[in-house]
Chains A and B, each alone.
Chain A
Amino acid sequence: MLGIIIGVASVIAMLALGEGSKRSMREEMSKMGTNMIMVMPNFMRRGGVSLGSSSSNAMKMVDVIALRNEATAVSAVSPEIRASGQIIYSNQNTQSTIYGVSEEYLGIKKLTVKSGRVFSAQEVKSMAKVCLLGQTVIENLFGAGTDPLGLTIRIKNLPFLIVGVLEEKGESGMGQDQDDLIIAPYTTVQRRLAAIDYINGIYASAVSEEKSSKAMAEVEEILRRTHKLKDSDENNFRIMSQSELMATMTSITDIMTYLLGAIAGISLLVGGIGIMNIMFVSVTERTREIGLRMSVGGRSQDILKQFLVESIILSIIGGLLGIILGYLIAKGAGTLMDTKAYVQTQAVILAFIVCFAIGVFFGWYPARKAANLNPIDALRYE
């Protein structure tokens, strides 16, 4: 029975941890907004030859404007221009990434302002040198907990006024520090900090989660036009939706979970073999008893049923203990690894069904052996 207990426990624990991490990932991702769409540059191929990242400068502001005007399923669009550099305040300095965006960026990426404000459309137009800081940058430059509103920092030696402070977001599902960032108008970043005429990415939000596939289709159509792609050309950009990303991550986690679960399931098989062995021994030990039962009127099917039921009971008790043990292991491992573990009702029901099946399947041969004994020989057995 130990095999069954361990087998069930490990399957339950695996499934629980898998489900738990899937759920916390879901939670994380929905915090980012499930209607978010990202467009990134892609390597372009013409005739099977990769042109490398030369097309990484393919995206321009005209794309953003076209999307704003034409995509009906899209509610907001923002460019993203990335620059990195040294940030200085008095005698402190740090390295960070500066994101040049439009004012809709915060809404699209679900960033909230803790104090101060986001820059205005006017400031974008005028390439104002204003910025918002994430908590990690504040910690590095000013010390944790301070509110640096109104102060001026130097980014790549240019003075920027801090007009807003971002709410803490913590670590992303993929381990990135989401508070290590500075946000500034894209016009400013594009011209003054990065000195480029293209943009690194486009962030948009679909009107609703249901409309996000329509939105993605519209974005593709419009960008293909603005990028002047021929029908035979592949996209020189990649469109990813948050909901797609989430679905991918979920299915990856699912596959991993089920794989681990299946491996754990092998130990369940071993447990089943253990049950079969126990039953075989039991049948042998009770040969005289079986002979006796037959002599007082027990038919073959009565004997078969009797031993099958015993096998099933053994298996189910093992399953019960295994479920309890699995739950404890999952909770314990979850706390250790800082993940959450979640035992679904269907996992428990599945465990019971599997145990029942194991009881029947692995108990069948011993039970049949018992039922086929010759009563005369059985009674004489030493």
Chain B
Amino acid sequence: MNKTIIEIHGLKKDYHIGEVTVHALRGIDMSIKKGEFVAVMGVSGSGKSTMLNILGCLDIPTKGDYFLDGVDIKSLSKDELAKLRNQKLGFVFQSYNLLPRTTALENVELPLYYNPRIKSKERKELALYALEAVGLTDRMHHMPNQLSGGQQQRVAIARSLVNDPVMILADEPTGNLDTHTSFEIMELFQDLNERGRTIIYVTHEPDIARFATRNVVFRDGLIQRENMVTERTLAREVLKTLPIENIEEFDA
């Protein structure tokens, strides 16, 4: 029986914009076990981005409980939340958010910089491991502008793995990528998931649903629908069926 790493009860979130109060989340109950691949879906304004922010400890709920790996985040200060993000979470963004004039290796090292317990030698080693896991060791000294979109996203995924997080939060990670590369990235996510990583994948594309193990659909601040995926599609299978395209490789 897998451990429950996320427990959410009666979660509410309100935003005050001037005189108007926006009820972004109106009462969410959710629990996520280790090893799941949850696709959180919904249109703009459904509350899925707010859910992601709260899951990622970038924001705190107005009401309700959120237990991350047993820790009640309501009681934490800003600095403690930062520490939590540093040690238990990994983020992957739509636009990669890599540091521009920094090598891939240094980019992956970044979260470890903010961890005072890790010395620089260990940091390098951990970063190398992470790059290995995404298959980019041969590009570790490249700058982001020398990498393709897919490669940049891989670096970002490596960065999210480097501190061995409890889960990876991905916000539309394939939004800026072409079809073929999108499937490659999905293949990577599924690969990581198969090896035990918990993945929460936020998207507005319904097509993603079939690659996950569980789907949660948000609408108007509530969970509209939730189901386990029975026939899961594997990205590597899909890749085999795609026509071979001319993909430009960036060679340093």
- A residues sitting closer than 8 Å to B (CB atoms) are 288-289, 291-302, 375-376, 379
Contacts and interface: CB of A to CB of B under 8 A. Distances in A.
A296 B58 contact: no
Contacts of B83: 297, 299
A301 B79 CA distance: 9
A293 B86 CA distance: 10
B82 A288 contact: no
Contact of B59 (A288, A296, A298, A376): A376
Contacts of B114: 293, 296-299, 302
Contacts, number: 49
B244 to A, nearest CB: 35
A297 B115 CA distance: 8
A296 B110 contact: yes
A299 B91 contact: no
Nearest to B85: A297
Interface string B79-96: 100110111000101000
A300 B78 contact: yes
A4 to B, nearest CB: 23
Interface in B95-146: 97, 99, 110-111, 114-115
Given A375-B58, A376-B53, A376-B58, A296 B99 contact: no
Contacts of B93: 292, 379
A304 to B, nearest CB: 12
Contacts of B110: 293, 296
Interface string B186-210: 0000000000000000000000000
Contacts of B42: none
A292 B87 CA distance: 15
B59 A295 contact: no
Contact of B87 (A295, A297, A375): A297
Given A297-B83, A297-B86, 6 more contacts: A294-B58, A295-B58, A298-B114, A301-B79, A376-B53, A376-B59
Nearest to B99: A289
Contacts of A292: 93, 97, 99
Contacts of B82: 294, 297-300
B163 to A, nearest CB: 8
Contacts of B58: 294-295, 375-376
B86 A296 contact: yes
B77 to A, nearest CB: 10
Contacts of B111: 296-297
A251 to B, nearest CB: 53
B159 interface: yes
Contacts of A379: 93, 97
Contacts of B86: 296-297
B79 A299 contact: yes
Contacts of B78: 299-300
A188 B178 CA distance: 112
B56 interface: yes
A150 B58 CA distance: 103
Nearest to A300: B78
B95 to A, nearest CB: 8
Contacts of B79: 299-301
Given A288-B97, A289-B99, A300-B79, A295 B91 contact: yes
A299 B99 CA distance: 18
A296 B163 CA distance: 10
Contacts of B97: 288-289, 291-292, 379
19 contacts: A289-B99, A291-B97, A292-B99, A293-B110, A294-B58, A295-B58, A295-B91, A296-B91, A297-B82, A297-B87, A297-B111, A297-B114, A299-B78, A299-B79, A299-B114, A300-B78, A302-B114, A376-B58, A376-B59
A288 B95 CA distance: 10
B207 to A, nearest CB: 24
A330 to B, nearest CB: 37
Chain B CB within 10 Å — which of A294, A297, A302 has the most?
Answer: A297
Chain A CB within 10 Å — which of B53, B78, B82 has the most?
Answer: B82
Contacts of A295: 56, 58, 85, 91
A290 to B, nearest CB: 11
* Among all A-B residue pairs, the 9 with the closest Cβ atoms: A297-B86, A296-B111, A297-B114, A299-B82, A292-B97, A299-B79, A297-B85, A295-B91, A375-B58
Contacts of B115: 297
Given A302-B114, A376-B59, A379-B93, A296 B53 contact: no
B5 to A, nearest CB: 18
A160 to B, nearest CB: 86
Contacts of B56: 295
